[in-house]
Amino acid sequence: MRTIVAALALGMAGSMASAAADGSDPPEPLERFQRSEDRLFRVGYRLATANAVFCDQTVRVSGLLIHDAGSYSDPAAVRRQFGLLGDIGVQAVAPLSPADAAGIRQNDTILAIDGRTIETEWPLTDPRWQRVTALRDAIDDALSRGTLDLSLSRAETPALAASIIGVPACPTRFELVDSESSAAADGERVLVGENFPGLAYDEASFAAAIAHEMAHNILRHPQTFAEIGWKRKLVRLSERDADRLMPWLLQNAGYDPAAAVRFMRTWGPKHGGWIFRKRTHDGWDERVEFIEAELAKIAEAAQSHPAGLADWQTGFVPELEIPHEAN
């Protein structure tokens, strides 16, 4: 599966543009990571919820992302940096989400989930990352059953309560990975390295990169290649389909679908000498042409839809077909 994920990645090396271009002091590494994860989460939430009506399966989401100070090398430093009153903090809150409507803020501290306190029900694990995974699963389970009840605190208000009813979303999580510079899909998640160059792009262009990876998950490309094995020609078609579906997803999330073209024209010339020129991918200029060919179809689909959405379930035709002998 690791090889398949690499094949379905935009991924090439690069570094983020400096956040201190205006002459101000650069953010601390923890703050910089939080800013990037917040951006990824907000964009991912917008794409996943806006396209839920067309996904075959959906999950309930809250628009809340948590992190665990105990999973870092220096938990005390993390708690100090973000003003946490415990280990489990709110890393991001998507605008206009149920969590946002409930008044939850970034850097609130989560004390209990559905009446189960963090300290007693979820002690620190070894390896440390397993606790936050278990907590996210508990949140997902509560949302799937109805209402998520949280007990929280923040510096000026030590006792808070929030009840959240989730909204439908396409079933993809969005995670920032430290010390990486690529973007990839693994069937369940979109994984973006903290040094991914697209993080420095304007939001719509960055959203295009995330939509490309999300398209792989919607079209079940990682699962397909896990079943049939590595087939270079089919991988190339899967990349083409992810490119072509990308602007449809952008349209429904309220982004300009032409941002997919802008992303590729910005990205391709700088990073097109590596994976973009391998036989698993079309050249970046060819990819622009495939994306542009979808824009008129998207405009027509949106014009005929009462909510202005582009129904990719009926209007998008994948090129990838799995031959029977490969099954």
| Each residue's pLDDT expressed in tens, for the chain with a length of 327 residues | 444 444 455 533 333 333 333 444 555 899 999 999 999 999 999 999 999 999 999 999 999 999 999 999 999 999 999 999 999 999 999 999 999 999 999 999 999 999 999 999 999 999 999 999 999 999 999 999 999 999 999 988 888 999 999 999 999 999 999 888 899 999 999 999 999 999 999 999 999 999 999 999 999 999 999 998 878 888 889 999 999 999 999 999 999 999 999 999 998 787 754 444 555 677 888 999 999 999 999 999 999 999 999 999 999 999 997 654 444
Tokens standing for 91? 């890393």
Residue 325 is predicted with a pLDDT of: 47
Q: Which CATH class is domain 59-169?
A: mainly beta
Task: Give the start-to-end residue ranges of the domains of the chain.
Answer: 59-169, 173-307
Determine how β-strand 59-61 pairs with β-strand 88-93.
unpaired
pLDDT at 62: 98
116: which strand partners? Answer: 113
CB of 290 within 8 A of CB of 243? yes
**Amino acid in the structure at residue 299:** A
Q: How far is it, in rounded angstroms, from Cα 130 to Cα 194?
A: 20
Residue that is written with structure tokens 């990838």 in the block: 320
Distance CA 208, CA 47 (A): 10
